[in-house]
Structure 1
Amino acid sequence: MNIRTILFDLDGTLIDTNELIIASFTHTLGKYAKKEFAREEILEFIGPPLKDSFMKIDPDRVEDMIATYREHNLSNHDSYVTAYPTVVETLTALHDAGYQLGIVTTKIKSTAMMGLKLTGIDHLFETVIGLEDVTHAKPHPEPILKALQQLGAKASTSLMVGDNYHDIEAGHHAGTHTAGVAWTIKGREFLQSYNPDYMLEQMSDLREILGA
């Protein structure tokens, strides 16, 4: 496989923000929702843009909920967020081997950069595509295609790596190879059902797949 470019989702793929996200949703829903949400229900909100999730709660209060969520998320960010095992050393090795690396996230870019800087991997990426950079978020191919355009890369020699079906479907739609991560909070079987080309048990598996 001739892969030269690797695009990564951020949350749940490179950095563990799951408990931060769940806490921020719990805080926000407790303030605005008319019912209590179980943890399993909140997991459904992980992945899509905040606007899409909060539209299901109360279409008239979406912007208020987004503001409340982001305030909680930012103020608690550094006490929750860590890189997953083998992520930092794998990305460093791939970068040093000459692979082009990029981030494609449904987060706004400034928040994404907080996580990248906190875990010490911000310097490894040539492009970061955030929610405000596109009209259509994943699973639409636009974010991936925009990243490839910025990198001067081809879909046929690129790999999209993510923890949610949005990532795999976006990769399929854009024409890249795809890899799921077995540590997804959605469950390995759920992600496997979207037929990624590869399933990583840990991020260091990438080096074996790529022969890097």
Structure 2
Amino acid sequence: MQPDTFLFDLDGTLIDSLPDLTTALNLLLSELSLPPLPRETVAQLVGDGATMLVRRALPEKAFSAQQVQRFLSLYQEHMLDETRLMPGIDDFLMKHQGEKMAVVTNKPYDLTLAIICELGLDAFFCAIIAADGKLPKKPHPQPVLRALRELESSSETAVMIGDHHTDLRAGLAAGVKTCFCAFGYGNDDGLAYDYRAETSSDLLRLFPAENPW
């Protein structure tokens, strides 16, 4: 059965936010007199939320909740400096506009909403599920299940689309199909999935719109 409900990860799937995440992280490292990290390294650290990103980037003794908050503050200042839609994503969204689509991300809700609105994505998504302190984060299935409830969709006709194994695990646990986006930052950790998109343009091939225009 062809999916009619599309649940999207944000960073590395819908948007290329790596430059701004790297900027904020390196500003934090500079404040701590630590050397900067290249984008390629930061790309390997994202996918599990801000706390895990900062934890992975800092020496164990330097990590604290205060540093996470400082990173988020720095990121908020720079999160729209260079962040853009992934190439080709706008084509998919335009052709599927009006269908059931949601964002399911581990990024804090207020930052997610600001980015989505600034990039004009709010016209396409009926639900935004982000880190709000109430739901567990992916790979827990609850964010995916919450999106299905808000969209009034069933797991049998939904697909979780993301670039990280946390997306695949969350989708699998929620009983939805999964699509791994190899063009993003993450890795599949050897997990099985239903679809694979080498480029963002592959998404329209995998999930063609019923009434393209």
With the length of structure 2 as denominator, give the TM-score of the two structures: 0.86
Q: Which residue of 2 aligns with 1:185?
A: 185
Q: Which residue of 2 aligns with 1:195?
A: 192
Q: Percent identity?
A: 25
Question: Which one of the candidate residues 68, 71, 74 is aligned to 2:73?
Answer: 71
Q: Which residue of 2 aligns with 1:82?
A: 84
- Write the distance in 1 (CA, Å) between the matches of 2:88 and 2:76: 25
Secondary structure of 2:101's partner? strand
Secondary structure of 1:6's partner? strand
CA contact (8 A) 1:94 1:207 kept: no
Length, aligned pairs only = 206
- Write the distance in 2 (CA, Å) between the matches of 1:78 and 1:156: 36
- Write the distance in 2 (CA, Å) between the matches of 1:77 and 1:145: 28
- What's the CA shift for 1:17? 0.2
- What's the CA shift for 1:107? 0.8
- Specify whether residues 55 and 18 from structure 1 end up closer, same or farther in structure 2 by C-alpha distance, changes over 3 A only: closer
- What's the CA shift for 1:55? 4.4
Q: After the TM superposition, which of the residue ranges 52-61 and 140-149 deviates more from structure 2?
A: 52-61
CA contact (8 A) 2:136 2:143 kept: yes
CA contact (8 A) 2:25 2:54 kept: no
Tell me which protein shows more helix as a share of its residues.
1
- Write the distance in 1 (CA, Å) between the matches of 2:54 and 2:185: 20
Q: Which residue of 1 aligns with 2:157?
A: 157
Paired amino acid for 1:180: F
CA contact (8 A) 2:50 2:68 kept: yes
Deviations 1:21-48 (A, max 9, x none): 1222222233347x54643553342111
Secondary structure of 2:91's partner? helix
- Specify whether residues 59 and 174 from structure 1 end up closer, same or farther in structure 2 by C-alpha distance, changes over 3 A only: farther
Gaps of 5+ in 1: none
- What's the CA shift for 1:83? 0.4
Secondary structure of 2:120's partner? coil
Q: Which residue of 2 aligns with 1:9?
A: 9
- Specify whether residues 26 and 126 from structure 1 end up closer, same or farther in structure 2 by C-alpha distance, changes over 3 A only: same
Q: After the TM superposition, which of the residue ranges 74-83 and 190-199 deviates more from structure 2?
A: 190-199
- What's the CA shift for 1:181? 1.2
Q: Which residue of 1 aligns with 2:208?
A: 211
- Specify whether residues 46 and 55 from structure 1 end up closer, same or farther in structure 2 by C-alpha distance, changes over 3 A only: closer
CA contact (8 A) 1:15 1:115 kept: no
With the length of structure 1 as denominator, give the TM-score of the two structures: 0.86
Secondary structure of 1:130's partner? strand
- Write the distance in 1 (CA, Å) between the matches of 2:208 and 2:27: 44
- Structure-to-structure mapping, 1:36-185, within 5 angstroms: 36=35, 38-39=37-38, 41-55=41-55, 57=58, 58=60, 62-96=64-98, 99-132=99-132, 134-185=134-185
- What's the CA shift for 1:59? 7.3
